[in-house]
Amino acid sequence: MDIDTLLSQVKSGEMNIEKAREYLKTLPYEDLGFAKLDHHRKLRSGYGEVIYCAGKTTEHLVQIYQSFYEKGSNVLGTRATPQQAQALCKALPQAQYDPLSRILQVIQTPVKQAGCVAICTGGTSDMGVAEEAAQTAEFLGARVQRIYDVGVAGIHRLLSKTTDLRAANCVVAVAGMEGALGGVIAGLVDKPVIAVPTSVGYGASFHGLSALLTMLNSCAEGISVVNIDNGFGAGYNAAQINRLALHDR
Amino acid sequence: MDIDTLLSQVKSGEMNIEKAREYLKTLPYEDLGFAKLDHHRKLRSGYGEVIYCAGKTTEHLVQIYQSFYEKGSNVLGTRATPQQAQALCKALPQAQYDPLSRILQVIQTPVKQAGCVAICTGGTSDMGVAEEAAQTAEFLGARVQRIYDVGVAGIHRLLSKTTDLRAANCVVAVAGMEGALGGVIAGLVDKPVIAVPTSVGYGASFHGLSALLTMLNSCAEGISVVNIDNGFGAGYNAAQINRLALHDR
Amino acid sequence: MDIDTLLSQVKSGEMNIEKAREYLKTLPYEDLGFAKLDHHRKLRSGYGEVIYCAGKTTEHLVQIYQSFYEKGSNVLGTRATPQQAQALCKALPQAQYDPLSRILQVIQTPVKQAGCVAICTGGTSDMGVAEEAAQTAEFLGARVQRIYDVGVAGIHRLLSKTTDLRAANCVVAVAGMEGALGGVIAGLVDKPVIAVPTSVGYGASFHGLSALLTMLNSCAEGISVVNIDNGFGAGYNAAQINRLALHDR
Amino acid sequence: MDIDTLLSQVKSGEMNIEKAREYLKTLPYEDLGFAKLDHHRKLRSGYGEVIYCAGKTTEHLVQIYQSFYEKGSNVLGTRATPQQAQALCKALPQAQYDPLSRILQVIQTPVKQAGCVAICTGGTSDMGVAEEAAQTAEFLGARVQRIYDVGVAGIHRLLSKTTDLRAANCVVAVAGMEGALGGVIAGLVDKPVIAVPTSVGYGASFHGLSALLTMLNSCAEGISVVNIDNGFGAGYNAAQINRLALHDR
Amino acid sequence: MDIDTLLSQVKSGEMNIEKAREYLKTLPYEDLGFAKLDHHRKLRSGYGEVIYCAGKTTEHLVQIYQSFYEKGSNVLGTRATPQQAQALCKALPQAQYDPLSRILQVIQTPVKQAGCVAICTGGTSDMGVAEEAAQTAEFLGARVQRIYDVGVAGIHRLLSKTTDLRAANCVVAVAGMEGALGGVIAGLVDKPVIAVPTSVGYGASFHGLSALLTMLNSCAEGISVVNIDNGFGAGYNAAQINRLALHDR
Amino acid sequence: MDIDTLLSQVKSGEMNIEKAREYLKTLPYEDLGFAKLDHHRKLRSGYGEVIYCAGKTTEHLVQIYQSFYEKGSNVLGTRATPQQAQALCKALPQAQYDPLSRILQVIQTPVKQAGCVAICTGGTSDMGVAEEAAQTAEFLGARVQRIYDVGVAGIHRLLSKTTDLRAANCVVAVAGMEGALGGVIAGLVDKPVIAVPTSVGYGASFHGLSALLTMLNSCAEGISVVNIDNGFGAGYNAAQINRLALHDR
Amino acid sequence: MDIDTLLSQVKSGEMNIEKAREYLKTLPYEDLGFAKLDHHRKLRSGYGEVIYCAGKTTEHLVQIYQSFYEKGSNVLGTRATPQQAQALCKALPQAQYDPLSRILQVIQTPVKQAGCVAICTGGTSDMGVAEEAAQTAEFLGARVQRIYDVGVAGIHRLLSKTTDLRAANCVVAVAGMEGALGGVIAGLVDKPVIAVPTSVGYGASFHGLSALLTMLNSCAEGISVVNIDNGFGAGYNAAQINRLALHDR
Amino acid sequence: MDIDTLLSQVKSGEMNIEKAREYLKTLPYEDLGFAKLDHHRKLRSGYGEVIYCAGKTTEHLVQIYQSFYEKGSNVLGTRATPQQAQALCKALPQAQYDPLSRILQVIQTPVKQAGCVAICTGGTSDMGVAEEAAQTAEFLGARVQRIYDVGVAGIHRLLSKTTDLRAANCVVAVAGMEGALGGVIAGLVDKPVIAVPTSVGYGASFHGLSALLTMLNSCAEGISVVNIDNGFGAGYNAAQINRLALHDR
């Protein structure tokens, strides 16, 4: 029974007040009409659905994709294995897999991209995480400017891109090992910088811990950090900020 | 010698090309006219100067404030000790100190506040860090909505503020101990959430490490994290995002 | 406006259904009548209020105690400093302070104690944390059996108390350094054991981390762990379990 | 020689007092008649035996199961590999294996389940650990209510289950990554909550450390924690508490 | 009632067998006559008592010393503060305090010292811990050879003492910072080496963790390790080994 | 040229003093006659050679064994893989491999075993490390008493072995997970206890770190610790102590 | 347009000053003529190129090598897998692979080696990292003296090499486990020592962390440290210092 | 007896060869004439003595300084407290104390400074450590170029100093928090860079751990690292390298 029916019955006297009050208390929360509480549709309205593929069985995954596909939704899956991708592509030939970013997409309605999010990496081995961020942001309507392999050990490479960096509404800085990229970029631009530590490296990089700590300790203003290798989180965040800048809320 | 003079001399033949090229190479970078490179003025243009007071001698600090004061600037100092505050207030009676946030301000031109940044805390002991964030955001032109003591152990307190949270362009979530506040909020709103772990707590909180890890691992979309107790960083970031939403760049 | 009023107005036609539905959505959650949602009163109903004193100003603390006192409640404050205690005792002579447990109580209605919770320590220096647990459990209606200084380095001391341990509905094991007490006790009894690591020790005890890990890794069945030095949490938990055993819910 | 014989011989003069005293000192401890000292039978009396399969050779494992089977006991094995399961099922067709929970059971006498233990998970990937807890509790006589995929990032999913949670004598909260589930639940119910951190996640989850710390630092009252991925321990503990509530000791 | 009385009563028929058996089961363990179970007297028989002074109140401490003094025992207290020492010396003028080792002794019967334990330090700042070890070993009957300030950064200093090192039954190696002393010594002698990491140092010594790890990882044969700063433990262990070599058990 | 020759030449005048002094300074250290400096033969004289097999190529390993075999030595190799064992047994049929301890031995002269070393484990999965300790001690002339599966969660199992434990000159305690075994044993005996943490376990055992910390923090007297899984080190140490007790130095 | 052209146009009036200034501001940094900013050629001028092979696809790698080969450069690749080596050797038969150091080189112009860098290891299992250092230093023009298997547990082995160590301009000390080698060497020589911790070991070596901390905490003067297993970094650094000593800059 | 005397006696027949050989074996190592083995004088010959003041008693310290003073040596003391300085200056008025670097010097013979070491800091709060490095290098004969407050958050400040950096034989990079300075500098110069992490910062800087890890993980070539806050070590190392470049060995 939805709220309107309940209130109608109260009005008509079909249900007395005591019983109605009792019912309201024990209603599943979402039945109260907080439509936006389903967090999966918050930002993506009009863009599609997101699936975290890691750990899901192939059968289950194919089912989810198909269900969304039949509703006409675009779907973005992250951390998909080649096996998952192969199975899905067989079942749903429209699916596209990018082994670098591990993103497995089904696009039925092309996404219009606007604004600008710049996505930078320290080295070429950070590109997998960067592409996860980039393709997530694009899926959510952001235009993405890729600026790869501009690590601080050769600072001129980064500096030559200053104009591009400043043109973006938000910058995503992806780096492993020393992880200093985010802090240097935040000193060059006046927009929010989202830093993504990567697990690239060896020895005292401790699987991304070193880069994570570097980024959290940056003295530059305007930088925040997401989990190690969390390209999706950074891309989502960047798309949110880009949309705010576009007044497209 | 500035660039115009140099170019004039090249044009007039006063300086030959070789010498000019040499000069350009060795010029201090800022002399090239990259006005925005001085990161201290990036966002704050029209708002004032920011000083990190911790570790500065009293004499030095008073001098810096006075110098900015004479130029007519507003000044925001963070992590000021009561001793520093006392010394400054004696020298500059316009200065105002808030012992909770440890912010030491001199406001000559009132700041116009617009948009909305919501700042939440898990408990009352997180308020010092939250106020550092709030007063920083206000100094930089954001209107701030304070929502304190809404920790997840009593989830209804937070839920009753859902409307306020959704009205903000950006939410700052300040919490120590378990640090779960940021993730729950990010599930309730569709705007960026900046999480600030605090060093409040004891035992296995390990001076904020527990809250930091919780926040980095949040499964909610749209959350990013700053350093433990870094209220300033969160407030700065939130003001940046708020300004983007205001199209006031 | 409470729910009954609203429903009455719907019934009478004073308020139309659309407006009522809108109102229900935006109501503060607790106004829906979830009386038990205020977690502070969950278990303690009939026992009194609990305050975490650490970090509260003296003025604030006295005010809280007085407010509860005037309502006739018993009050248990944890982690109170001697200064806080002195100030309160001056304002409220009924208050009693135990410097060992740092508990600051006001008892207006004597608490009836029933069932049995056994509280053990490895050494004498764990007694402060143990007393916090014991007095918390007593405040919440549990009878407490104290079994102190029975560390595993002299296992016979513990074994001689086996009968007492087995008579309890729940055992709290408080130990620092190696922290093996909880696991040995859990092997001796068939009731839940709540282990509390303490920060007592030096060197590689790392402020309680060693004891915490030991307890989490216990091979014995029926043991669970709370935060380092969290006597209150253990006492609370033990009282909950003791009440379940008493069918006093 | 058992104690009775010894005492008889003392009485009859067959053995002198000196020798008897000497004998008593060196007797194996269990010979003194502490029947309950064999911890493996403590709670399970009437329910069966428990085996930790990890690391045991297949031959050894089959032997143990068969020995218990011949005595008519129910047997619960945890952390069994598919290889172990296959070997056992061949030898003992009554055995049943659940690859999700890795539990390998032989049930000869159906277990009567009573009371209620609620078992919750933050996400679907925590289900393996949750099932280990659930099937353990069921094996030990508890009725189990499964409430899966109610992570705090979508808080309404959890809130809609409040009534179910409150009906249980004990709640087990299984969660990885941020691990905030336990604390939120403990704020909603007034029964003991046993939190199980899982190693699910990546990056700064550090194989469950993040969730472990979150749970230990929860500000909610009535929560305790077991080792990372220790579903068995939580299920055992919950069954103990459930039995206390049933007055079935 | 002691065991002899009990057995006599059984013999005489004063007590029946059933009751005797019951009594035996519930007797405090030590009453069974396991004289050596009181671990405090194990090795020290004939040497005296040991007290861990840290954390004990002055009143309590003086009482313990006096009680032992009246029984004629030698007493060794470790980690005594100057305040504790001052109070004891006032009450018991025979007491002697060494502020370096923080050892507070009362010697009524001079201890005969035999065999040889060599105690080495890496630097002069490790001497406090080394003296705790040395004076403990001496209290327990070992002759001690002190070899201080022979850190591996000047390896010739250590090598010039090779003969002395080889003459000992056991070597204690006390070192902070890099902590390499133990491993180098173990390579020079063929007797057990007990390594004591100290908390001396700064930065990445992490309060003794670095030295602890170094010592645990030594490639030399015949080295074992005690807790950071645990001079007492090393001295006790060395005295045990020295006594074995003296056939004085 | 050895020292005698040099001194003879000095005496005869063949070599002048200056040159002799120079020569002495630059002589390889071992040429000075410090016969015992070759640490590989220290204790083992008369017992044989020890090889750390891990990481060595099969070819290299076979060569080393054969070289020692030809000299008539007994050889003990630790951490040998099945592949290494297979290759050696083919080349040297006298070799014997124990897959549990990973020890690969060639015994040409049977070792006479004397004294007593007790080796205990907490659980059955600690047996591999325990056997490495036991077989090492036996190789070096110690008689070994194995006392396995006596973990503290069922304390009576351990207590029933007290007499055996007390009969040994040295006890090795091998345990993973909580690692409390060493401390409880040290409280029961008055001989040195060498504790070996194992990497057995999961979750918060952190690959043996938990057991290591527990053992370092033991409050019992007479315990020292070796590296995680270092059965060889413990066995070597125990054999050293056992030999001291036998006056067989 | 390069700077000379620009300046010529300014001089000739083809370009006005305003436009020139604008152009200079937005020029890519390297266009200003900072020829040495390309860090890849800094020291290696005349020696060749360096490639970090780890993580690169085989196709990409072969392409890079071929491109450098065609320009006549020597090429040094580090951390190359056997697969990468096999693929390259097929495409470029001049390539040479050393599976121990994982270095994959193409030498077209033989490198003249001068000066002296000594490279030491604690054990034989550190040789892979040592060879990476040695071959890197040789590639960059240093003569290398290899001194392997001189760990501190047998200190005489190291001491017998003192003369060789002192003859070098720089010493690289490679060691895992306890990692004490660097500190002992730094006490023997008066030239810079570069310490390389290795991940060789087990248990509490924590994948090189133990050796890293030991080296950072060395009390000897003149030692600095690089990342765990970073043979390349140490070899590069040593070659730099060796060149300074040769006045070959 | 020194070696010459011994050899003379052998020559003259005063001492027979056997006795001489015996004597040589047991001689203190330094008596063999390894003059340079006293590590304190290695590099400093002609410069003076170095004292680590931390933890030394005032009396002891004054004595050491006076003893060196009387021999005419220059003396450099590091980590001296104001109390130590005050006491020394009273006893030895020539002493000079710098509270920033905590260096306490007595210079009798002015030191001639040559070559060039550049010392940089990220912020002003790193200056204490930088001055320790600078004054150490100067004491050991290096000319020092100070380049302070050039942190990477405002990269242009650092770039404007490129010429100065490139003119040095060695660069010391001192930085806390994110610690990225060393890596950026190493990308700009082709001389060795010694990075010093500082404990400056808060939160996730973990007392310098973050900066330490950043520096160890730098991708730039030619960087090595010393302990947190170890300005002395960096200055010593830099002076060593500078001397090699000066061919002044």
The CATH number assigned to the domain holding G230 equals: 3.40.50.1970
Q: Which residue has the higher pLDDT, G134 or G247?
A: G134
pLDDT at C138: 97
pLDDT bin (cut points 50, 70, 90) of residue F122 is very high
Q: What is the pLDDT of residues A3-18, one digit of tens each?
A: 677 778 888 888 887 7
pLDDT of residue F22: 64
Query: What pLDDT shows up at residue F4?
Result: 72
Nearest to A219 among H177, H186, H209 (CB): H177
H229–E203 C-beta distance less than 8 A: yes
More confident residue, D56 or D174: D174
Ordered DSSP codes for G200-219 = ---GGGGGGHHHHHHHHT--
Q: Looking at beta carbons, which residues of chain A come within 8 Å of H177?
A: 217-219
pLDDT band at F1 (very low <50, low <70, confident <90, very high): low
Give the closest-approach CA distance of F45 to chain H in angstroms: 22
User: Average model confidence (pLDDT) for chain E?
Assistant: 87
pLDDT, tens digit (0-9, with 9 covering 90-100), for H67-99: 889 888 899 999 999 999 999 999 999 999 999
Tell me whether D62 touches chain B (CB under 8 Å).
no
Q: Which of H106, H127, H162 is the last residue of a domain?
A: H106
Percentage of chain B exceeding pLDDT 70:
88
CA distance D245 to chain C (A): 5
pTM (two decimals): 0.88
Please check whether residues G45 and G89 belong to one and the same domain: yes
Q: What is the pLDDT of residue G36?
A: 27
- Average pLDDT on B16-45 reads 48
User: Does residue C140 sit in the same domain as residue C54?
Assistant: no
Inspect the interface and report whether the beta carbons of D217 and B210 lie closer than 8 Å: yes
pLDDT at A60: 86
Token output for C36: 């038990």
**Whether residue D151 has pLDDT greater than 80:** yes
pLDDT at B37: 32
Q: Which chains touch H (3 or more CB pairs under 8 A)?
A: A, B, E, F, G
Mean pLDDT, residues A205-231: 96
Residue of G nearest to F29 (CA): G160
In this complex, is the C-beta atom of G243 within 8 Å of any C-beta atom belonging to chain A?
no
Mean pLDDT within B168-178? 96
* pLDDT class of H242 with cuts at 50, 70, 90: very high
| Cα torsion through B117, B121, B124, B125, rounded to 10 | -110
Min CA distance, E126 vs chain C (Å)?
Answer: 14
Interchain touch D–H (≥3 Cβ pairs closer than 8 Å): no
Determine whether H219 is exposed, middle or buried from the number of CB atoms within 10 Å of its CB (0-12, 13-18, 19+): buried
User: Cβ separation of H219 and A178 shorter than 8 Å?
Assistant: yes
Test B29 with H200 for CB contact under 8 angstroms: no
Inter-chain Cβ pairs, chain E and chain F, closer than 8 A: 105
Residue-level pLDDT at D22: 63
Of C59 and B223, the structure prediction assigns the larger pLDDT to B223
Q: How confident is the model at residue D248 (pLDDT cuts 50, 70, 90)?
A: low
- Check whether E177 has a pLDDT greater than 60: yes
**Is H196 in contact with G241 (CB distance < 8 Å)?**
no
**F241 and F189 part of one domain:** yes
pLDDT value at position C32? Answer: 31
Rounded distance, CA B180 to CA B212, Å? Answer: 10
pLDDT band at C39 (very low <50, low <70, confident <90, very high): very low
Q: Same domain for C219 and C144?
A: yes
Residues of D in contact with A229 (CB under 8 A): 202-203
pLDDT for residue B28 is more than 50: no
The whole-number pLDDT of residue H35 equals: 26
Are G24 and G82 found together in one domain? yes
Query: What rounded mean pLDDT belongs to chain A?
Result: 87
Give the ipTM: 0.84
Do the chains A and E touch each other, judged by at least 3 C-beta pairs below 8 angstroms?
Answer: no
Q: B160-169, B230-239, E18-27, E75-84 — which is least confidently predicted?
A: E18-27
Identity of the residue in G39, G54, G228 whose CB atom sits nearest the CB atom of A203: G228
Burial H46-68 (b: 16+ CB within 10 A, else e): ebbbbbebbebebeebbebbeeb
**What letter does residue G114 receive in the DSSP assignment?**
E
Looking at A81, A106, A131, which one is the last position of a domain? A106
Contacts of A170 (CB under 8 A, 6+ apart): A117, A118, A191, A192, A193, A194, A237, A238, A241, A242, A245
CB of F9 closer than 8 Å to CB of F15: yes
- Stretch G67-87: mean pLDDT: 93
| 3-state SS class at G51 | strand
H144-175 pLDDT per residue, tens: 999 999 999 888 889 889 889 999 999 999 99
pLDDT of residue B34: 28
CB contact under 8 A, F156 and D37: yes
pLDDT of residue A22: 63
Of residues A220, A194, A215, the one with CA closest to residue A205 = A215
What is the rounded average pLDDT of the residues G143-164?
Answer: 90
- Are residue B82 and residue B146 in the same domain, yes or no? no
CB atoms within 10 A of CB E32: 19
Chain C contact set for E34 (CB, 8 A): 156
Q: Assess H220–G contact: CB distance below 8 Å, yes or no.
A: yes
Question: In the predicted model, what is the mean pLDDT of residues E101-108?
Answer: 96
* Pair (A217, A152) in one structural domain: yes
Q: What percentage of residues in chain C have a pLDDT greater than 90?
A: 65
Measured CA to CA, the distance from residue C240 to residue H211 in angstroms comes to 46
Q: Is the pLDDT assigned to residue H37 strictly greater than 80?
A: no
For D74-83, D113-122, E56-65, which range has the lowest pLDDT when averaged over its residues?
A: E56-65
Contact H153 A218 (CB under 8 A): yes
Q: Given an 8 Å threshold on Cβ–Cβ distance, is C156 in contact with E30?
A: yes
Instruction: Please report, rounded to a whole number, the percentage of residues in chain G having pLDDT higher than 90.
Output: 65
Residues with Cβ < 8 Å from G50, sequence gap 6 or more? G40, G44, G75, G76, G77, G78, G139, G232, H221
List the domain range (segments joined by +) for residue C143. Answer: 114-247
- Residue C25's pLDDT is what? 53
Task: Tell me how far apart the alpha carbons of residues E184 and F80 are, in angstroms, rounded to a whole number.
Answer: 26
Residue F223 backbone phi and psi in degrees, to 5: -115, 135
Residue F152 corresponds to which tokens in the numbers above?
């503290």
User: Residue range B27-37: average pLDDT?
Assistant: 32
Calculate mean pLDDT across residues C196-220: 95
User: Are A136 and A30 within one domain?
Assistant: no
For the cut 70, the answer to whether the pLDDT of residue H38 exceeds it is no
Helices (H), B71-154: 82-91, 127-139
C-beta separation of F89 from F80 below 8 A: no
> Of A107-121, E36-50, H208-222, where does mean pLDDT reach its minimum?
E36-50
Whether pLDDT at H13 is above 50:
yes
Name the average pLDDT for chain C.
Answer: 87
What is the per-residue pLDDT for F33? 29
Among all residues of chain B, which has the CA nearest to that of A45? Answer: B190
pLDDT tens per residue across span D20-55: 766 665 443 333 322 223 333 444 556 888 989 998
Judge if F199 and F226 occupy the same domain.
yes
Q: Which residues of G153-166 are buried (b: 16+ CB within 10 A; e: fewer)?
A: bbbbbbbbbbeebe
Q: How many domains does chain A have?
A: 2
Residues G139 and G221 in one domain: yes
Q: Please, which chains are in contact with A (at least 3 CB pairs closer than 8 A)?
A: B, C, D, G, H
DSSP H helices, E82-195, are 82-91, 127-139, 155-159, 162-167, 181-188
Q: Does D7 touch chain E (CB under 8 A)?
A: yes
Contact B230 H154 (CB under 8 A): no
- Together in a domain, H94 and H155: no
Q: Which residue has the higher pLDDT, B41 or D199?
A: D199
Q: Tokens 């839940």 map to which residue?
A: C192
Residues of F in contact with C220 (CB under 8 A): 152-153
Please, what's the largest Cα pairwise distance for chain G?
77
Same structural domain, H62 and H24: yes
Query: How much is the average pLDDT of F77-89?
Result: 97
pLDDT over 90 at E48, yes or no = no
Q: What is the largest CA-CA distance in chain E?
A: 77
